[in-house]
Amino acid sequence: MASSDDFTFIEPEAPLGSKPAKPLFGNYHEFTSGKTTDLDVQIVTALRGKHPELIVTTVPGNNVNLLQFAAAGYAQVELDTENEPVLSWRGFIGPSHRGGSGYLADSTFFARYNYTWGAENFILYVISVGYSRLQYILKEPKGGENPLSHSSAVDALLSTIGAWLIKEVPAIYVYDGYWTRSTKLWEEVKKAKWDDVILDPKMKKALTQVASKFFDSKAIYEEYGVPWKRGLIFHGPVGNGKTISLKALMHTLQERKSPVVTLYVKSAPYPGHIRAVFQMARSMTPCMLVLEDIDTIVTSNTRSYFFNEVDGLENNDGILMVATTNYLERLDPGLSKRPSRFDRKYLFPLPDKGERSLYAQYWRNKLKNKKEIEFPGKLCDAMADITDDFSFAYMKEAFVATLLDLARNHGDDSDDEDAPDGDDDDPLAKYELWRVFKSQVKILRSEMGSETSVDVGSSAASLGLYEGLSIEQEEMVPLLNTMKLQGAHSRAGKAVSLTGAGEPHCGDLGGPFAQNASVFSPMVDFRTLGQSKISRLSDGVWEWGP
């Protein structure tokens, strides 16, 4: 951390007999306490008046975030309370999981910092202006610079932060009304491997090759003069491997020598959302665009817009679209029967006996180190025999329920109570695992025919791994209305500091102090202040605001 002496060159002592410069906060208080036309203009003018020898650079908080850069360890920042007061809210942030302790945090609206990057020292003001946050960087001129020119040192800092923000890191881009970049979802996706996917061998081989061949064949598409784009549909009953295959495909593409990023669309109910999805996809090519449960995305309200984005004048080269649906028959014929949009369909049917036996073997391998569970190989075929018409989701439920039952009854000698009727002649009845498994299968089979039963496959039908805010965080939103990290829908920005567990951090760390590893899309469009402000007549006075 830089010492106070490092900053004396831009904050010289006042000459003897002269009045010391008053803090900017007095002006800020005055400007925000009455009618204003443009607070930003007044703040810049005040800063230039107080520091006529320095270059004042204004940077929107949702463009490049200096406190976030420092929080990541690439710069040093120190709150300056000697020259300026701090205006902030303080509140309690609840734990993201039950049993946690939570912590206190500050949501800061006005603050001055001493900022050090490499050998350069800056004065930084971070100020909330309406519903946005502005950063004012003060730096002494160098070379031929003057107080009204750009600062080469500030430009170098901003360029470095911008390069850091757009640096590629493994992540899944998720669209749910706006784009976010989820490293947390990637952590889940990279656990999926093709070795864990149980499918017909020919289909599995086709799936592992189709995407790689597409992204390796750009030159061939160009040679034959055809658009370099493809569309695949994964369809079939719920819980039969569509999602795990999709995750394994995401993993495979990200691990390529030249990684292919995945864009995952959770929901896009309005035409404007469809437009935003394809704009992002075109900017990220080559990429895989995943439309899970496409029947809920392409509806009567968005169908024409979707078709126009796919087949219109825009260039979609390098986009591999992969759609999933449990109800192929419900899709618009323009989706399911027109090759130029989705030219290959893969059916994920209920597993046959061989696949069910392989799935049982998969669980046998998982439990091989559990010495208290006797699981001989001959049980796999037997389990496959009694689970006809079961999806992989129901098979999983049967095994999970069996293991839970065994765990609850561990050490209980009354095992015979679990044995189904008619097991006296069953040579496998001596295995407790088999007896409990048969009981659970019987229960699940009865539920399969119940109109009120819960669909056990529903949890496997969606990626369902991108988590939002906890209930505790949502309740704090009105109090701690923090600007989201690099989000286009930002609110008043805050500089966060934690008390309690952990080291202090500063900057926009996502959401209202988001507690997961998901971050927003790295860069947003830079709009000049003149374009982002709207004039309006209020009580006979023209005002400007966001």
Going residue by residue through the chain (546 aa), what tens digit of pLDDT does each one get?
A: 555 455 545 555 555 555 667 788 888 888 877 666 788 999 999 999 999 999 999 999 988 999 999 998 999 999 999 999 999 999 998 887 788 888 898 889 999 999 999 999 999 999 998 888 999 999 999 999 999 999 999 999 999 999 988 887 888 999 998 898 888 899 999 999 888 888 888 888 888 888 889 999 999 999 998 999 999 999 998 888 899 999 999 999 999 988 999 999 999 999 999 999 999 999 999 999 999 999 999 988 999 999 999 988 889 999 999 999 998 888 888 887 777 788 889 999 899 999 999 999 999 998 988 888 899 999 999 999 999 999 988 999 999 999 998 888 765 555 444 445 555 577 888 899 999 999 999 999 888 764 333 344 443 334 543 333 333 333 333 333 332 333 333 333 333 343 333 333 333 333 333 333 333 333 333 333 333 333 344 444 434 333
Q: What is the pLDDT of residue 39?
A: 86
Buried b (16+ CB within 10 A) or exposed e, 317-352: ebbbbbbbbbebeebbebbbeeeebbeebbebebbe
CATH 3.40.50.300 fits 172-347, yes or no: yes
- pTM reported for the whole predicted model: 0.62
Q: What is the pLDDT of residue 158?
A: 96
Q: What is the chain's length?
A: 546
Characterise 17 by phi-psi region: left (phi > 0), alpha (psi -120 to 50), beta (else). left
- What lies within 8 Å, CB to CB, of 177 at 6+ separation is 267, 273
Q: Cis bond leading into 286, ω under 30°? A: yes
Give start and end residues of each alpha helix (H) in 65-121. Answer: 66-71
Number of DSSP helices (H) and strands (E) in the chain, helices first: 17, 17
- Its sign, for the CA torsion 430, 434, 436, 438, is negative
Q: What is the pLDDT of residue 313?
A: 82
Contacts 24+ apart (CB under 8 A), 80-83: 80/111, 80/112, 80/113, 80/114, 80/123, 83/11, 83/23, 83/112
Q: What is the DSSP string of 504-516?
A: ---S--STTT--S
Give start and end residues of each alpha helix (H) in 368-510. Answer: 378-385, 392-408, 432-448, 471-476
Phi, psi of 400 (to 5 degrees): -65, -45
| Contact present, 49 and 110 (Cβ < 8 Å) | no
- Which of 264, 258, 229 shows the shortest CA–CA distance to 243? 264
Q: What is the pLDDT of residue 38?
A: 83
CA distance 371 to 166: 50
Annotated domain spans of the chain: 39-96+103-166, 172-347, 353-409+430-443
CA distance 273 to 340: 22
Q: What is the DSSP string of 193-250?
A: -GGG----HHHHHHHHHHHHHHHT-HHHHHHHT--SEEEEEEESSTTSSHHHHHHHHH
